[in-house]
Structures are given as structure tokens and as C-alpha cells.
Structure 1
Amino acid sequence: MRIDKDLVAASATPLVLGILLEGESYGYAILKRVDELSDGRLSWTDGMLYPLLHRLERVGHVSSSWHTAETGRRRKLYAITAHGRRALADRQSQWAVVSEALDRIWNPMTPHPAGGAA
């Protein structure tokens, strides 16, 4: 299944911030985690991930530092910041509203709580 690029773009920031909420990580590991979380249905490239990480770092959602792996290879590790945690919480609330609206239109016979979950 091909995922529309607009949907991939909309979900990229919350996915990366959510992954970094699990702990600091480097680019290749983030790519692998996205693949794992989507059961292989989302295949991101370096060309998509690194500009996103750089943007998230510029706006203060992510910090980075260089570390040397046991193999001697230098890797840039990324970590979510307090500002990034707040941004992720806000994105989670927004996605809950969108998800509930889609569920209501796609599953109109399912009972939904009054006023919504968000």
C-alpha cells in the first residue's frame, strides 16, 4: 500500500517526537523504528528524515549531540526537549480530534462519547 505523501508529511513530526519520547536515538535507528511501527508500510528515506530533524532542532523540539559508537563511528544522537514534549502533547490532542472525526464518518453506527475524547 502506498501512503499519500501529504499524510506522511502530516504524521512525520508526531512520529519522530513520539519515537524520541522513548529515548534518544540517531537517524538510522529512527528510520528503522518508523518501519517497525508501521509494519513496513511507511518507508522513509534519509532525504525526508534529516531535514525534519534539522527543522525540529531549529524550533527547539529536539536537541542533538555527537557520540562515538563502540565501533568508533561518530553518530549524532537526537533527544526530545521539554518544548518538544509540549509540542507532542499538543499534536496528540489534534490527532485525537481528527481521528475521532474520521471514525464518526467512517463508522457512523458506532456510539461515540458526547463532546468527544479530546
Structure 2
Amino acid sequence: MGGRISSDLLRGHTDTIVLGILMEGDNYGYGIYKRIIEKSNNLYEIKEATLYSSFRRLEKVGSISSYWGDETQGGRRKYYKITALGENEYKLNKQDWEFTKKIIDKLI
């Protein structure tokens, strides 16, 4: 059975999805992009522009911080790290989602 994922529905959760990936450990842009595809079993591919605007938003409010890696081969990568504020935000958003999911399951 083929499912369709509403990208509109998911777009509203981009920041939480990014925070969830960073809960696993520090990562860089393309690494986060690949991890999202992997975690969704290839069902969801996020637009890079959406992802990078999420990084900017999250960094602006202090939910993540960034630093440059010290790669010796190729270009340097900008890594993102979740902060204590971000971890808290992730947990709250996850609770909100569980609650919303429960209501939608009852209504649909």
C-alpha cells in the first residue's frame, strides 16, 4: 500500500525533526539531510532550502549552535549541535505532537 506524506504537514515540524536528529549527536547539513531520508525509509526527502532556513531559525533562538569542523580533506563542514534549550524544545514539541496525533486518530 503506497502512502502519501503531506509535505505541508511535515513542513510545520521541520525544526522538531532537525532537533530530533541532533539529539542523536552533532551533525552537518548534508549529514542531517541524509539522516532524515534514512529515518523515513526513503519516504520523505526534505528540500535543502527548507533545511537551511530551519538551521538559521533554530540558531537564532538558541536551540542549536554551530561550529566549523576540522576536516583535512575537502571543504570544511559546518556542524550543528543541540543546546539544552533545544533539547527542552524537542521534548515539548514531541509531547505536543503525541497529543495532536491522539486527537486526530480519534477524529479521522
TM-fit CA distance, 1:37:
0.9
| Structure 2 SS opposite 1:74 | coil
Match of 1:28 in 2: 30
Paired residues, number: 106
TM-fit CA distance, 1:70:
4.0
TM-fit CA distance, 1:69:
1.9
TM-fit CA distance, 1:73:
2.1
Higher relative contact order (Cα pairs below 8 Å, separated by 6+ residues): 2
Normalised TM-score (structure 1): 0.83
- Choose which of 67, 77, 82 in structure 1 pairs with 2:69: 67
- Calculate percent identity across the aligned residue pairs: 38
**Deviating 4+ runs (over 3 angstroms):** none
TM-fit CA distance, 1:77:
0.3
| Alpha-carbon separation, structure 2, partners of 1:28 and 1:68 | 16
- Choose which of 5, 19, 22 in structure 1 pairs with 2:21: 19
TM-fit CA distance, 1:44:
1.2
Instruction: List per-residue Cα deviations over 1:46-95 (Å, max 9, x = no partner).
Output: 21111110110001000000012242420000010000011111101100
Match of 1:116 in 2: none
Unaligned regions of 5+ residues in structure 2, if any? none
Unaligned regions of 5+ residues in structure 1, if any? 107-118
Give the root-mean-square deviation of aligned CA atoms: 1.4
- Choose which of 92, 95, 98 in structure 2 pairs with 1:93: 95
- Choose which of 45, 57, 60 in structure 2 pairs with 1:58: 60
| Alpha-carbon separation, structure 1, partners of 2:93 and 2:33 | 20
TM-fit CA distance, 1:2:
4.5
| Structure 2 SS opposite 1:22 | coil
Larger Rg: 1
Normalised TM-score (structure 2): 0.90
